[in-house]
Amino acid sequence: MVETLKPASSLKGRDFLSNLDLSPAEYRAVLETAHAMKRGDFRGQRPLEGQTLAMIFEKPSLRTRTTFEVAMNQLGGHAVNLSNAEIGLGTREPVHDIAMNLERWVEGIMARVYLHSTLEELAQYSSKPVINGLSDLLHPVQLLADYQTIEETFPNTQGLRVAYIGDGNNMANAHLQTAVLSGAKLTVATPRGYEPNAVILMEAIKLGANITLTHDPKAAAEEAQVLYTDVWVSMGQEAEASQKRKLKDFAGFQVNPAMLDLIDKNGIFLHCLPAHYGEEVVEEATLHRKSRVFDQAENRLHAQKALLYHLLS
């Protein structure tokens, strides 16, 4: 058996609602473990033997559900899937009651929800770790996988030129926070009126992040070493009027092979998926030689497995 990294004792039993719930050293420990897990260093080990993760889903999920469930299984534990139709967060039963029930049965709770306040309430009333699997404000587990993927091409992210192009949504907000931890030089390009959360932006800058906002996607992409995009219309925002308005407002922000030609010759392209082909990206971009989109999807498993290891071991 290969000797492995020990879990960071400071992380055991902690909530993970945002990337800034990690210190730089803890962030580094999680990513080093993720890289080790992908190499197979933990193969055959079952550090979460007998433990159960409750997984709450208000939103549909492919990557989040599959990777958390497989991660728990590979670590020797078990995951229980709870759809909103079954538990009715805040409707059939108050969020705090759900938290106080689940804490009696499981070792951790992962929730993919609409409102970030739902996660905060779960964390407030549960004595067991609560993990943000996605909220309207942040998607922190995705950023762990993203930076694992980035480090596979660029091991040193200090000063790395990262460009996020698109909507100032939960993904953009999570990028702002992770710029604090990674040391990357982040440029966020959005149409006017679609900028990321101002409070999160100011907090990240105050903590030392190197962040630039622009409304020029081509300028952001120029010589970027990492180009990143996400859907323009998130789940829950699919109203026809909203889609039509965004398609107009986001003209020129689509990632296509021509935009990929603007980035560094060794640069990479990332998209957290699912992709809305013909809107924020074309399929040729996800299949482009610079694309690491499906490596990124694979790394959801390794990064979340590493996070679970540190929080629950």
In whole angstroms, what is the distance from residue 113 CA to residue 235 CA?
11
Mark out the alpha helices in the chain (DSSP H runs): 24-39, 63-74, 84-87, 95-102, 116-125, 140-153, 170-182, 198-206, 217-221, 240-249, 257-260, 283-286, 293-312
The confidence score (pLDDT) of residue 159 equals: 98
Token pair of 20 as six digits: 């800034």
Number of domains in the chain: 2
pTM score = 0.95
CATH of residue 304: 3.40.50.1370
Residue 2 lies in a domain: no
Whether 308 and 272 map to the same domain: the answer is no
Q: Are 272 and 233 in contact (CB under 8 A)?
A: no
pLDDT band at 3 (very low <50, low <70, confident <90, very high): very low
Query: Is 159 found in the same domain as 107?
Result: no
**149 and 278 inside one domain:** yes
Cα 35 to Cα 252, 298, 308: the distances in Å are 36, 12, 14
Residues 122 and 166 both lie in one domain: no
| Residues involved in catalysis | 112, 139, 142, 230, 272, 300
Question: Tens of pLDDT along 111-162?
Answer: 999 999 999 999 999 999 999 999 999 999 999 999 999 999 999 999 999 9
Residue 261 structural domain:
141-296
The pLDDT tens digits of the residues spanning 91-108 come to: 889 999 999 999 999 999
> 3-state DSSP helix/strand/coil percent for the chain, to nearest 5?
45, 15, 40
Same domain, 172 and 203: yes
Asked if residue 192 belongs to a domain, the reply is yes
Assigned domain for 4 exists: no
177 and 283 part of one domain: yes
For residues 6 and 36, give the distance between their C-alpha atoms in angstroms, rounded to a whole number.
11
* Together in a domain, 254 and 201: yes
- Average pLDDT, stretch 13-36? 97
- pLDDT band for 235, please (50, 70, 90 cuts): low
**Percent of the chain at pLDDT above 90?**
88
Give domain status of residue 1, yes or no: no
Which pLDDT does position 4 carry in this prediction?
54
Nearest to 308 by CA among 72, 140, 27: 72
Residues 147 and 290 placed together within one structural domain of the fold = yes
